[in-house]
Structures are given as C-alpha cells and as structure tokens.
C-alpha cells in the first residue's frame, strides 16, 4: 500500500526549517560578520576566506556547504540529507538577501565582544531547532551531527571541537584579540547549544518504593498518561519484599510526580536518574 503524503506536515516542517535558517543567517550577517570572528561555523570560515577570494560570503558559504553536504547525505541518512539540502541552500540565499538589502553593514553594538555574544545566543536558537528536527544548516553542523552519531559525542562538544580549527583560521587574517574571541566564542557556543538541546530532550528515570503503590500506578497511567514498570525488590536489612515502580518522565511530568508524592507519601523512597537517550526495539 502506497504511503499517503501529508502535505500539511511537509508545509509545516518547511516553514519551521525556513524560520530557523533565517535566524541563523541573521546571526551570521548582523553579528558574526561585523565582529570578524570565526566562530564555530562554515560561515566563520567563509569570513576568513573572503579576505582571499573575491566572492561574497553567500557564494563562499554555498561552495563550502556542497562538499560537506554530500558527506552528510551518505553518513547521516536520507532524511537528514534531504532536509539539510534545503537548509544549506536557504542559508546562502538569506545571506545574499541581507547582502543586497543591508550592504556594508557595521556593528550593531559597536563592540566586538558583544557582537560575538549576541551571535552565540541567536545562532544557538536556530541551530537547536534544526538539530531537534533532525536537520542542519550545513557545514560544520554536518560534521557535529556525524560525530554525535558515530562517536556518541554531545552535539555541543562536537560543535566546539570541529569549530576550533575554524576559529584558529582567524590567525591567518586578524589580530590576536580576534583569534582569542573566535576560540572563546566557539567554546561557549558549544556550551549554549548543548544547553538549548538537552534542556528540551532531558528526561528522568524515577524509581519509587511507596506504601501507596496502587494509587501511584493509577496516577502515572491516568494523570501523567505515561507508562511504568514494576519490579519486586527485597530489602537487605529485614529481607522484606516490596514492589518498586519505575517510570520515565519529562521535566513537567517530573514536577507533577514529585508534587503528588510529597502530598500523598512524603516518606516514600525515591531515586532519580537523568536520561538523555531512549530507544525502543521494534517487536518481531
């Protein structure tokens, strides 16, 4: 049976990806370009190369993206590749639009350090949206995604590592202050990006031993609309058998669960673990 195409979902996804890329392009053009810093992006490398190549930043970014785009398509899967084809094209397009509408724009903050800080904050918003949609703006984001998939490295750290070489490239063109800002900006960009992504995805594995086992089970299923697993446990001190209820919840559900337990059974034994990756094996 042929799978029906959901055009509404495709349109919605396209709008979200386009908005995210527009945010990234704005961060690059209005903050990164005036600062001359080369911070953790292929656009940062393009800023350095624009001193040697007589092409606009949008064209250099497009050329650099193509090579890594091909690599990302074959290593990260078709969905990642198709989405990133679109975003990789749209990023230089937005940069080109900004170049035409706002030619020779100067610093909006009149401070190199503030330009770098604003870039980090704004670009992290756009990148986190793309990564959580299994996409990328191209360039070094593809490298980070590959490292995340095959080396199991946090996306923020992967971005910092891959971007450090780009940051150091500023030494070929700019002064020591700009090089230091590029390196520090790359490092903090990884931290901020990691925060944006994992604060959204973080879950908690909560293990509870309580006298009100049946009430808790009903609360998890009917109020939190979540699942739970029950294990039989034996206390080492008196060898008493008790049931342990284990559930995995997000940040909001965790707060509701803790409020419920504090009200219903403050003496319950509770342990909590952070979970950043959950996988389900298909049956059969």
State whether the Cα torsion 191-194-200-203 is positive or negative: negative
Region 271-282: mean pLDDT is 67
Helix (H, G, I), strand (E, B) or coil at 282: coil
Q: What phi and psi values does residue 226 have, to the nearest 5 degrees?
A: -120, 175
Q: What's the pLDDT score for residue 279?
A: 58
Q: What's the pLDDT score for residue 237?
A: 77
23 vs 131, more confident:
23
Q: Which DSSP symbol is given to 5?
A: P
Q: Quick one: which of 194, 92, 84 has its CA closest to 133?
A: 84
Q: What's the pLDDT score for residue 126?
A: 87
- The string over 129-147, giving b where at least 16 C-beta atoms fall within 10 Å of a residue's C-beta and e elsewhere, is bbbebebbbbbbbbbbbbb
Q: pLDDT tens across 226-257, in order? A: 888 888 888 777 788 888 999 988 777 888 89
Q: pLDDT tens across 65-124, in order? A: 888 877 777 777 665 667 778 888 888 899 999 999 998 888 888 898 899 999 988 988
pLDDT bracket for residue 280 (50, 70, 90): low
Region 210-220: mean pLDDT is 90
Q: Report CA-CA distances (Å) from 171 to 28, 38, 57, 118, 235.
A: 19, 10, 19, 22, 62
Give the CA angle between residues 114, 118, 119 to the nearest 5°.
115
Name the H helices within 76-212: 78-101, 112-132, 140-150, 155-168, 176-201
**Model confidence at 53: pLDDT above 70:** yes
pLDDT bracket for residue 142 (50, 70, 90): confident
276 vs 60, more confident:
60
Q: What's the pLDDT score for residue 58?
A: 87
HSE-up (13 A, CA, CB side) for residue 198: 16
Q: What phi and psi values does residue 115 have, to the nearest 5 degrees?
A: -60, -45
* 83: region left, alpha or beta (phi > 0 left; psi from -120 to 50 alpha): alpha
Q: What's the pLDDT score for residue 278?
A: 61
Q: What's the pLDDT score for residue 5?
A: 65
Q: What's the pLDDT score for residue 30?
A: 93
275 vs 48, more confident:
48
CA 183, distance to chain mean position in Å, is 20
Q: What is the CA radius of gyration of the chain?
A: 24
pLDDT bracket for residue 1 (50, 70, 90): very low
Locate tokens 């790359």: which residue?
Answer: 186
Q: pLDDT tens across 144-170, in order? A: 777 877 887 776 677 777 788 788 888
Q: Which of 7-11, 48-52, 68-72, 102-106 has the lowest mean pLDDT?
A: 68-72
Q: Report CA-CA distances (Å) from 232 to 204, 218, 228, 248.
A: 21, 18, 13, 18
Q: What phi and psi values does residue 266 have, to the nearest 5 degrees?
A: -65, -20
**Model confidence at 171: pLDDT above 90:** no
pTM strictly above 0.75: no
State whether the Cα torsion 106-110-113-115 is positive or negative: negative
Across the chain, mean pLDDT equals: 82
Q: What's the pLDDT score for residue 144?
A: 75
**Model confidence at 207: pLDDT above 70:** yes
């Amino acid at each position: 049976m042929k799978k029906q195409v959901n055009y509404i979902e495709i349109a919605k996804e396209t709008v979200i990806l386009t908005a995210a890329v527009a945010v990234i392009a704005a961060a690059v053009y209005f903050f990164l370009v005036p600062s001359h810093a080369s911070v953790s992006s292929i656009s940062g490398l393009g800023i350095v190369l624009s001193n040697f190549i007589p092409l606009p930043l949008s064209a250099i970014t497009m050329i650099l993206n193509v090579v890594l785009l091909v690599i990302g398509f074959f290593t990260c899967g078709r969905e990642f590749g198709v989405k990133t084809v679109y975003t990789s094209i749209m990023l230089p397009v937005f940069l080109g639009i900004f170049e035409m509408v706002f030619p020779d724009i100067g610093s909006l903050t009149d401070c190199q350090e503030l330009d770098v800080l604003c870039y980090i904050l704004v670009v992290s918003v756009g990148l986190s949206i793309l990564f959580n949609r299994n996409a990328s703006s191209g360039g070094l984001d593809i490298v980070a995604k590959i490292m995340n998939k095959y080396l199991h490295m946090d996306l923020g750290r992967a971005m910092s590592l891959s971007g450090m070489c780009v940051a150091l490239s500023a030494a070929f063109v700019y002064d020591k202050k700009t090089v230091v800002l590029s390196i520090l900006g790359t490092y903090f960009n990884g931290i901020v990006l990691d925060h944006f992504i994992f604060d959204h995805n973080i879950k908690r594995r909560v293990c509870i031993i309580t006298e009100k086992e049946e009430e808790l089970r009903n609360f998890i299923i009917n109020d939190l609309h979540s699942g739970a697993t029950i294990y039989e446990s034996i206390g080492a001190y008196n060898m008493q058998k008790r049931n342990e209820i284990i559930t995995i919840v997000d940040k909001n559900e965790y707060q509701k669960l803790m409020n419920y337990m504090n009200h219903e059974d403050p003496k319950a034994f509770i342990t909590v673990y952070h979970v950043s990756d959950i996988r389900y094996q298909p049956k059969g």
